[in-house]
Structure 1
Amino acid sequence: MGRVSFYDEIELEDMSYDEDRDLFHYPCPCGDRFEITRSQLKEAEDVARCPSCSLIIRVVFDPLDFEDDDEPSAATDKVPGQVAVAT
């Protein structure tokens, strides 16, 4: 496989977070935006893609920050003191 050419390297802290879509995004020169999901970051993927063009960026972050990351729906469904029981 050939060498991958990145448009840029962007720190995760410089990206915006969209809670509704559970992803980080950054403006792309084509007018759209590069996107990478929390689950991709949890899997240590560091490539954000633009859905409108062929450009990609490398996202610089610490994978350990996402090591214990739970799915957002699971975290918000928990009630303190309540224990989940399989039926």
Structure 2
Amino acid sequence: MSETITVYDQVEIEDFVFDPTQRIFTYPCPCGDRFQIGLDDMLDGEDIAVCPSCSLMVKIIFDEEDLAEYVDS
């Protein structure tokens, strides 16, 4: 049985902000916090960023080659 995830929106990776120190991508959430996902999670195939303050999630639109510029930063 597959699980269906309901996402708030779909967002291009270019719209996220990357923090090279923490190696995470963030994007503003309507609740006032920020959706976040780790670079390593994305390299492992994850494409859902979660807001730690509410239940909303966004799907990140990207190709695997888009991540190459962030790996060595």
Q: How large is the RMSD of aligned CA atoms in angstroms?
A: 2.0
Task: Indicate the structure with greater strand content.
Answer: 2
TM-score (norm 2): 0.83
Segments of 5+ residues of structure 2 without an aligned counterpart are: none
1:11 counterpart letter in structure 2: E
Based on CA coordinates, which of the two structures has the bigger radius of gyration?
Answer: 1
TM-score (norm 1): 0.71
Structure 1 runs of 4+ with >6 Å offset: none
Cα offset for 1:2? 4.6
Per-residue displacement from partner, 1:31-76 (whole Å, max 9, x unpaired)? 0000011101100100000000000000011124447x86x5xx8x
Matched residues, percent identical?
A: 41
Greater relative CO (CA pairs within 8 A, separation 6+): 2
Segments of 5+ residues of structure 1 without an aligned counterpart are: 76-87
